[in-house]
């Protein structure tokens, strides 16, 4: 999968793409991350990319010319144009389902905003898929683009060392529930013991316990993820998860 990222701050990405999981995926040619500087497409000698909003108001707005032209230049690069994604707090909310849709693409073009946002004509002309990573305002779309790259890359076969682990993670479980609690050595830590069942070697029982824990945890923390029939209150049930 190829990711093209258009940004005013390409250098922000180098530390991130140079770290273990992404680095290995890039080295193994499972993903390719190409960074493009929007400022290189500005029209004047001061490299201007933003201006004051018509009608007044605070902040600066990204001008249409450098943004549209940088996107067009990137989309013209072979092999074929990628799905165009604009990172903006006003977009549709990123969920694991959206991540799964994006992972089906061969190429994604991610455009990061800064300042007060994009001139509306960029959106009207190019009709991008506008995506928000949550209901809060970031300083720019770069962190949001990294979130998308991270979440999508780990769905690409071969990117995770252990192919199973993205199937049992919260939100990627077949039933969309949160993950059960996990333990590793030591067996006792500061007086807290690993649940006996996990040491039993009885795998059908372990699977049953984990399924119960997933359901309990989801009811307690994220009842909105459960189908209506499973949203029964947990008020009278012991809190077994504690984590």
Query: Which spans of this chain sit near ligand ADE (rule: CB under 6 A)?
Result: 87-89, 113, 132-134, 136-138, 140-141, 144
Q: What angle do CA 40, 151, 112 make, to 5 degrees?
A: 25
* Nearest to ligand ADE of 81, 140 (CB atom): 140
- Cα–Cα distances (Å) from 84 to 111, 155, 221, 224, in that order, read 8, 19, 34, 30
For strands 192-193 and 188-189, give the pairing.
antiparallel
Q: Indicate if 181 belongs to the active site.
A: no
Minimum CB separation of residue 20 from ligand ADE in Å reads 25
Q: Is 64 a catalytic residue?
A: no
CB closer to ligand ADE, 87 vs 215: 87
For the CB of residue 133, give the shortest distance to ligand ADE in the complex, in Å.
Answer: 4
Q: Which of 65, 89, 130, 210 is catalytic?
A: 89
Is residue 163 annotated as a catalytic residue, yes or no? no
Using the minimum distance from each CB to ligand ADE, give the nearer residue, 66 or 117: 117
**Catalytic (active site) residue 104:** no
Long-range contacts of 71-76 (CB under 8 A, 24+ apart): 71/6, 71/109, 71/111, 71/126, 73/36, 73/41, 74/4, 74/6, 74/34, 74/36, 74/109, 75/109
Active-site entry in 65, 129, 130, 169: 169
Catalytic center residues: 89, 116, 154, 169
């Amino acid at each position: 999968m190829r990711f093209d990222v258009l940004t005013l701050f390409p250098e922000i990405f180098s530390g991130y793409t140079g770290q273990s999981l992404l680095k290995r995926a890039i080295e193994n040619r499972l993903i390719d991350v190409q960074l493009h500087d929007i400022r290189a497409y500005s029209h004047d000698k001061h490299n201007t990319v933003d201006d004051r909003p018509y009608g007044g108001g605070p902040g600066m707005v990204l001008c249409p010319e450098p943004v549209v032209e940088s996107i067009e230049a990137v989309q013209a690069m072979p092999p074929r144009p990628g799905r165009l994604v604009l990172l903006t707090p006003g977009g549709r909310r990123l969920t694991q389902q959206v991540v799964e849709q994006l992972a089906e693409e061969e190429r994604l073009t991610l455009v990061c905003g800064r300042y007060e946002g994009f001139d509306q004509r960029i959106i009207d002309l190019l009709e991008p898929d506008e995506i928000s990573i949550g209901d809060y305002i970031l300083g720019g779309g770069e962190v949001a683009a990294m979130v998308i790259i991270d979440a999508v890359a780990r769905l690409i076969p071969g990117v995770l060392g252990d192919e199973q682990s993205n199937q049992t993670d919260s939100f990627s479980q077949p039933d969309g529930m949160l993950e059960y609690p996990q333990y590793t050595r030591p067996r006792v830590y500061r007086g807290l013991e690993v649940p006996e069942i996990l040491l039993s070697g009885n795998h059908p029982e372990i699977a049953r316990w984990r399924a119960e824990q997933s359901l309990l945890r989801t009811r307690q923390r994220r009842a909105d993820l459960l189908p209506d029939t499973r949203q029964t209150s947990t008020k009278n049930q012991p809190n077994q998860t504690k984590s």
